Structure 1
Amino acid sequence: MSETLSPAPSRERRTYSIGELARRFEVTPRTIRFYEQEGLLDPERRGQTRVYHEKDRVRLSLTLRGKRLGFSLAEIREVIQLYDHAPDGDERQLRRMLDILAEKRRGLERQLEDIRALQHELDDVEDRCRESLDALLARHSRDA
């Protein structure tokens, strides 16, 4: 999630329709409207039409990347807002990103530990089932 929200001057005037953004990012217009409702996007309104600027495209990119990384919408919003509201947004944003990434990493480590414990439990149950099946088959062959 390190894409900058400061567009290059030549791209600054580029606008997008909701359909263009949806196709570009392979999401539905409903998804884009949801992110707008959640305060992650802020398109210009021209009557009933939403006009998305480069800043919105970058925010959508960051939002989708954040979701893939397991960030909550609140975490994504916080990181994006740091760009918008703080003169030292880059430093604060990067520090907060590092904090969130460390939290995510700790959560994944806990999940890995849980998965390993579950695998050991499954191995134990599987071993007991195989032993019981072998014993059952041995009895059947003796009885036959």
Structure 2
Amino acid sequence: MSELLAERAAWTIAELAREFGVTTRAIRFYEAEGMIAPERQGQHRLYHPRDRVRLKLILRGKRLGFTLAEIREIIDLYDREPGEAGQLDHFLEKIAERRAELEQKRRDIALTLDELAEVEGNCRRRLRELGRTDGR
């Protein structure tokens, strides 16, 4: 279905919402933020391939944990010098930063889980010392 939609010249907000599994309100929000700019025909919005690609990039960026400001910055680099190459270089820097943040969170979670296991073991051991059998 996405391949057929990608060959079209324009989409309605409902079509994009359905395709990407987001609400029309979310799409209007990205429009209000200036991240996409559909053509207006009266009360209707027509989204062209550029809008569709930008929406796809916005949603991917959100899934990867980037802020809207970071996503906007990355997307906007495409239209400035040095163009796509500069955009990709910047994106790679952001990916490295995001990966480092997630790796730190992973280490923090592992430490917290270890500490929880230790505290849990101490609690269960103390319950057994107190003669409680539900200390497992």
Q: TM-score, normalised by structure 2?
A: 0.88
Q: Displacement of 1:124 after TM fit?
A: 1.3
Q: Answer with 130-139 or 103-112: which moved more.
A: 130-139
CA distance in 2, matches of 1:63, 1:77: 8
| Partner in structure 2 of residue 4 of structure 1 | none
Q: Displacement of 1:85 after TM fit?
A: 2.7
- Secondary structure at the residue paired with 1:84? coil
Q: Displacement of 1:34 after TM fit?
A: 0.4
Which amino acid letter does the alignment assign opposite residue 60 of structure 1?
A: L
| Partner in structure 2 of residue 122 of structure 1 | 116
- Secondary structure at the residue paired with 2:47? strand
Q: What is the 5 A alignment of 1:1-144? A: 11=7, 14-86=9-81, 88-137=82-131
Q: TM-score, normalised by structure 1?
A: 0.83
Q: Displacement of 1:138 after TM fit?
A: 6.6
- Secondary structure at the residue paired with 1:55? helix
In our comparison, the structure showing a higher alpha carbon Rg is 1
CA distance in 1, matches of 2:132, 2:54: 65
Structure 1: runs of 5 or more not aligned? 1-9, 140-144
CA distance in 2, matches of 1:138, 1:78: 59
Q: CA RMSD in A?
A: 1.8
Moved over 6 A (4+): none
- Secondary structure at the residue paired with 1:45? strand
Over the matched positions of the two proteins, sequence identity in percent amounts to 53
| Partner in structure 2 of residue 142 of structure 1 | none
- Larger relative contact order, structure 1 or 2 (CA cutoff 8 Å, min sep 6): 1
